[in-house]
Every structure is written in C-alpha cells, then in structure tokens.
Amino acid sequence: MSSVAPFPGPQKDPSAANRAAPPPQAAQPRVRDPRLDFYRGIAMFIILVAHVPGNRWASWIPARFGFSDATEIFVFCSGMASAIAFGGSYAKQGWFLGTARVLFRCWQVFWAHIGLFVFIAVSMAAIDLYGGFEKSYVNSLNLGHFFKDPMTQLVGLFTLTYVPNYFDILPMYLVVLLLMPLMMGLEKAGLWTVAAASVLIWLTANPYIIGLGPDGISFMAEPWSEREWFFNPLGWQLLFFTGFAFMKGWLPAPPVSKALVILAAAFLILSAPFGSWKVFLWVEAANKDLASLIRPTWEITAEWREKTDFGLLRYAHFLSLAYLGWVAAGTGGKRLIATGHSLAARIWAVLLKLITKVGQQSLAVFVFSMALARFIGFALDQTDRAVMTTAFANLVGFFLIIVCAYTAAWFKSQPWRAKR
C-alpha cells in the first residue's frame, strides 16, 4: 500500500550562501489509500445489516457464504489504518510518545464502548417502560441481569468483566490496540520476533493447533456463567497485525498472479458448504449423498472455523477474499476510481465517494450503527416485515450512517477555527 511522500526541500545554492534562507516547505498531506477506506466502508454497511434483529437482508451477507464475514474486514482494515495513524508516531516521536498516542486512542474506544452500552440500555428500558409492548427489548439483549443488579454490573462494565454479547467488538479492539506497544517494542529485535509473538499469542487462544486441547486462554464475559467474550482479542490480534504489517511494510504486497487468483477463488467456492449452514442446506437439497459426506467434516473442523478465538480456516478464508479484493481494485485502487462521463461512471463516482466517507469515519459510524440497528429492529417489529418494508428500513439505515459519517467528518474538520 503506497502513499505519497513529501516533496524534498530546496537544494542548497553555494553561490547564494549569504542570502536569507527561504521558509521551509510545508509537508505534503498524506494521500489515503482508497482501497482501505472503500472496503472498510463496505464492512460498515454489512455490519448494520447484520445487527438489525430479524433482518431479511442478513441472509445474504458474506457470513452466510463462508468462514469469514464483515468482522474480519473491520479488524484487518483497522490494523492497516493503525499502521498509518500510529506507525508514523512511533517512527518520528519514539516508543513512549507513540505509546501515549495509542493509549489516548484506547481511552476514546473505551468511552465509546461505555457510551454505546448506556445509550442502548437506557433506550431499550424506556421502550419497555413506556411502550406497552408484550416483547421485552431489555431481555432481547440479555440485559436483565444488569437491571436486577446494576451496582455489580456497572463495576463489571467499567472493568470489562461484564461484556454483553451485543457489545463485544469494541472491548476486543481495545485490548488489541493495547498490544501495539509490545509489537512496536519487539520490532527492534527483528520482524521475525514480531511475527513469532503474534503467532504465539494466537496459539494461547487456539492451543488445539499444537495438540494442547481445545481450551485456550479467554476473557470471562459475566460473573454468573462461564460465557467468555464473543471475540477473543488474543486470537483476533493475528488478523489485526497482519493488516498492520502489510501497511507498515513489514510484509510485502502479494504478487498479482493468475494462479493465485484461481486458487483463492477455488478455496472460497469449495469451502462455502463447510463454512455456512445456508450453503450446506442448498447442497443437501441438491444431493443428500454429498451432504452426508460434508456433515462429518463440518463437525471435525468446528475448532478450525471457530469465530470466538479466530480459527485458522477463518484466517485462510479472509486472506483469500482480501487477495481477490486487492487484485480487483488494481494498483493503488485505480479500478475503484470512476473514469468517463457516462451515467454509470457518474453513479459509481457518487457511490464510491459515499462508501469511502463511511470508511474514513468507521468508529463513529460503527457506534452509531449499533444503536441505529436496535431502533430499526424496533420499527420493523411494528410492521409485517414485508420485503419492501424491510428494504426501505435498510436503505433508511444506509442513508443515516452516511449522514453520520459526513457529520463526524465536519466536526473533525473544526470549521469554527477556519479564518473568514
């Protein structure tokens, strides 16, 4: 992934040594890679669809056709974005100031998590209290324990020992970010040391790979059961730092090869019945004998495709998908950029701009969409959930997260500081 480096400053002129030196040239702004923001924006739309309760459209998201889903896109792209945001700080300002910036980002993510939980919990409680509906929206999120014993659960919420299922991705992201100072410190010992550390941490969550049994290290999600965090950061950090390594230049860009394209596409297609019950049922309807051969493999590979600890098959599936997406976008994302003046080109240019903006404001959009999804689900509960009604609800959701992205970008630009 390339970026435009600043232009070199003016060369010294020996014959003009006594003249006043010109002012230093301003550094050129970094050019964002369009592929990163585009694919991360796509992930944001998918995440919204996936979190609307009872959403018809959720039957057609990538998770229904393979091992990996939009979570992998989000984590991988977050790793790449972190290499841009924090890698330069470590290189220019040193380990301590680089770590300080990472800790500040962790502080932001932590409060985004707390704010999201409180807002949704209060909103669902208000609907239950004043809505007069038979359905309990508090219990639909399994928040009954929180309201029965708020003192204990508030302490658990702030110490991340109480992490309800719907609110689990930001705590995972927070812990993964906290591993970045370790990785940047190990960089001085060599890139193989960084790779070995990431793999060893992943193995603590997936010990079955080396024959140490199915139970690895995990984080408990609630004190009254043995449920663990739905996303184990010790496993998911492998994907985050893979994206980080590609953008940082620790890993070289893969070659564009017809053989690799065919291999990646074949893996995605052939693994679909093993990675999705939806596709498996299609195979079973077409050929019961073939389905009977697939079913034992499904059971044997349960740990290898496991989502909580980020099983190895999910990793292979996502890397195959990412490679095809990388090839399809072209060098520097040139195929994403609309050319020409046709109606299709103009429509694509608008769509690209909107999707990219959503990808650039991913944290704000993610927090907003998680809350929005519950309200869309509530609205759909008041309807017959017909095809057109569901389509309208999803499209309204898409429009609102686009508005959220542009609003977040406007606030970040601090227009009140601009000169008249």
pLDDT above 60: residue 368: yes
| Average pLDDT of the chain, as a whole number | 87
User: pLDDT, tens digit, for every residue of 5-46?
Assistant: 333 344 444 444 444 444 444 444 455 678 889 999 999 999
Please choose, from the candidates 304, 298, 253, 357, the residue with its C-alpha nearest in 3D space to the C-alpha of residue 68: 304
**Alpha helices of 179-257 — where are they, by DSSP H?**
180-186, 191-205, 233-248
Query: What is the structure's pLDDT at 27?
Result: 45
44, 358 in Cβ contact below 8 A? Answer: yes
Residues in contact with 264: Cβ distance below 8 Å, sequence separation at least 6, in sequence order = 320, 321, 323, 324
pLDDT band at residue 387 using 50, 70 and 90 as cut-offs:
very high
User: pLDDT, tens digit, for every residue of 79-112?
Assistant: 999 999 898 888 888 999 999 999 999 999 999 9
| pLDDT above 90 coverage of the chain, percent | 63
Section 176-183 average pLDDT: 96
3-state helix, strand, coil in the chain (%, to 5): 70, 0, 30
Section 274-278 average pLDDT: 77
pLDDT above 60: residue 115: yes
3-class DSSP assignment, residue 220: strand
User: pLDDT, tens digit, for every residue of 202-244?
Assistant: 999 988 776 666 678 999 999 888 899 999 999 999 999 999 9
pLDDT band at residue 302 using 50, 70 and 90 as cut-offs:
confident
Please choose, from the candidates 252, 316, 86, 310, the residue with its C-alpha nearest in 3D space to the C-alpha of residue 180: 86
- In angstroms, the CA 369 to CA 284 distance is 36
Token pair belonging to 266: 């074949």
Q: What is the pTM of this model?
A: 0.87
**Alpha helices of 70-229 — where are they, by DSSP H?**
70-93, 95-130, 137-140, 144-148, 150-159, 169-178, 180-186, 191-205
